[in-house]
Homo-oligomer: A and B are copies of this chain.
Amino acid sequence: MKIGLAQLNYMIGDFSGNLTKIKNAIEQAKLQQADIVVFSELNICGYPPRDFLEFNHFIKQCEYSIEQIAACTDNQLAVVVGAPSKNPTKDGKDLHNSAYFIADGKVQFIAHKTLLPTYDVFDEYRYFEPNKDFNIITYKDKKIAITICEDIWDTGEANPLYRVNPVAELAKHQPDFLLNLSASPFNYKQAQKRMDVVRKNATQFKLPVFYCNCVGAQTELIFDGGSMVMNADGILVDEMPYFEECIRFYSLESNVDSTSNSTVSPDFIDQQLPSIDRQQDKNETKLIHDALVCGIQNYFQKLGFKKAILGLSGGVDSALVLALAVKALGKENVLSVLMPSQFSTAHSVDDSLKLLENLGSPHKIIPIKEVFDVYDNVLQPHFENKPFDVTEENLQARIRGNYLMALSNKFGYILLNTTNKSEAAVGYGTLYGDMCGGLAVLADVYKTQVYALCRYINKESEIIPEHILTKAPSAELRDGQKDSDSLPDYAILDKVLLEYIEHHQGPDEIEAMGFDEALITRILRMVNRNEFKRHQTPPILRVSTKAFGSGRRLPIVGKYLES
């Protein structure tokens, strides 16, 4: 039996575009004389469809696509796609998150998702009723168990999140192999974890697993693909590339000894590679780099924009965003704007120009002093002789935001936001100033990770000038300002933030790790008090296990850890 996995990049709600991609893959499967081609979770509508699922009209569009796909199938090829289906019983949520097994012109079987992730960025119980019945389908004499994403993730931990393990239930029917349709978003720990999970299912239930993930970014969520086939003995047959569309086919051959399990061997379109060499590189910095490039690229492509604009300060964050954007969009499609003030150091402009030269990317220089002085004159009578303070600092950042947005509006650029995660965490940024933008590229990347990414980009030749990487970080909004005037050292700050944000450690637990109590209190309060700023942040490309945005939901008005 020949089985294909189609790892594709969908657009949410673009039914005709998605259908075209699916039909093309079906054509390929027919050419390959495949028996089954498997797609990813909710691929008909794109994942995550969010509250579009609450519209009957949207569900009808999904049903119409399923009909179209059924019309492409024959008695040779079965197609397994993901789409919502209506809950046939009156009780519970109106929808299931389903996999449709389609062959011979009609839907032969529908499997519903049992485990509905409702944590972090996931809201599936908001929409779906969990599956309660565990059935398999027999097709061409093979018994096939079908699962959806999270269904295989409850792998027998001491403290499981769910009360039922759907794979264990399905295994009772003694299937020949397991399909999994996924929409499993990237974080820099995910690729290894995903492979462990697939392997655990394969070996625990002695089943070959065909795991098909989607690929591409959906606003803040980046899907890395990495679809794979694992034999029942836990040996990886093949792992598909990350951040790329890919369709591959595999041959499943039954052993002569009928008591042993089926094994899978790769039946590659390109025959040259042995299976084990196709495991992907799991270096975390490389993965984050590639994810961010994918995130930028897909955001622009899917919105129908080509050109980006950003403010280039001479600091490390905007330098990194520029390098990533050039990689994603092309050097001619990224306009950098240098906006020096009276507080800017000479090297800010020089370092930026050197970087631009290295990248061959266009720029403009628009100083902000003239406008700042007029604001200052107009506002002075209203300021009641109060001294220069954060007001004037913010005003400079906002003038820069205005310039960038004016050019963005006039020419149809999207403004890239350059805030990093350390700044976003402690509120070190100006609302409507440097926090402007259509997409926050680095707001899930700590400052220390920003440096690591720059070093990664420079690994073969110097793209980002060394001076940008060695000078002390500064917002340059007043004379001689350094980040370290208002913030702890980033090496310490980032560690405390990681424990609090990613690992959910409280003050006592962080203190037990050896950090200073007063420092912890100061940092945690800064994080909590700046929720109001993060509420107005652009969407943030998610690369960690806990990004700011829809995966982290905290009250704006609250008093936790304040006393």
Q: Give the B-binding residues of A (Cβ under 8 A).
A: 11-14, 16-17, 46, 48-52, 54-58, 60, 90-94, 118-119, 123, 125-126, 158-163, 217-219, 298-299, 302-303, 364, 366, 370-371, 374-375, 378-379, 382-383, 386, 389-391, 394-395, 398-399, 401-403, 405-407, 409-410, 431-432, 436, 438, 504, 506-509, 532, 535-539, 550, 552-563
Q: How far is the CB of A383 from chain B (nearest CB, A)?
A: 6
Nearest 3 pairs of A and B residues by beta carbon: A57-B506, A13-B560, A14-B559
User: When the two chains form the complex, which single residue of B92, B93, B386, B559 contacts A13, counting CB atoms closer than 8 Å?
Assistant: B559
A13-B555 contact in complex given A410-B391, A532-B438, C-beta closer than 8 Å: yes
Contacts of A13 in B (CB 8 A): 555, 558-562
Q: Are A91 and B162 in contact (CB under 8 A)?
A: yes
A401-B556 contact in complex given A391-B410, A536-B537, C-beta closer than 8 Å: no
Contacts A398-B402, A532-B539 aside, 16 further interface pairs with beta carbons under 8 A come to A11-B558, A12-B560, A13-B562, A14-B560, A48-B555, A55-B504, A56-B506, A90-B160, A119-B126, A126-B553, A302-B557, A366-B379, A379-B403, A432-B436, A438-B532, A536-B537
Contacts of A49 in B (CB 8 A): 555
Contacts of A14 in B (CB 8 A): 558-560, 562
User: When the two chains form the complex, which single residue of B532, B553, B557, B561 contacts A51, counting CB atoms closer than 8 Å?
Assistant: B553
A402-B395 contact in complex given A366-B378, A506-B57, A560-B13, C-beta closer than 8 Å: yes
Residue of B nearest to A300 (CB): B557
Contacts of A389 in B (CB 8 A): 409-410
- Report the separation of the CA atoms of residues A159 and B94 in the bound assembly, to the nearest whole angstrom: 8
A379-B406 contact in complex given A51-B554, A432-B432, A550-B553, C-beta closer than 8 Å: yes
A560-B58 contact in complex given A48-B555, A50-B555, A162-B91, C-beta closer than 8 Å: yes
Q: How far is the CB of A168 from chain B (nearest CB, A)?
A: 13
Q: Are B386 and A410 in contact (CB under 8 A)?
A: yes
- Report the separation of the CA atoms of residues A553 and B119 in the bound assembly, to the nearest whole angstrom: 15
Contacts of A51 in B (CB 8 A): 552-554
- Report the separation of the CA atoms of residues A520 and B395 in the bound assembly, to the nearest whole angstrom: 41
Residue of B nearest to A436 (CB): B432
- Report the separation of the CA atoms of residues A17 and B16 in the bound assembly, to the nearest whole angstrom: 56
- Report the separation of the CA atoms of residues A11 and B54 in the bound assembly, to the nearest whole angstrom: 32
Q: Are A11 and B402 in contact (CB under 8 A)?
A: no
Q: How far is the CB of A14 from chain B (nearest CB, A)?
A: 4
A370-B374 contact in complex given A56-B504, A118-B118, A119-B126, C-beta closer than 8 Å: yes
Residue of B nearest to A387 (CB): B410
Contacts of A56 in B (CB 8 A): 504, 506, 509
Q: How far is the CB of A276 from chain B (nearest CB, A)?
A: 36
Contacts of A379 in B (CB 8 A): 366, 403, 406-407
A394-B390 contact in complex given A93-B161, A161-B93, C-beta closer than 8 Å: no
Contacts of A504 in B (CB 8 A): 54-56
Q: Are A46 and B386 in contact (CB under 8 A)?
A: no
- Report the separation of the CA atoms of residues A556 and B295 in the bound assembly, to the nearest whole angstrom: 13
Contacts of A391 in B (CB 8 A): 406, 409-410
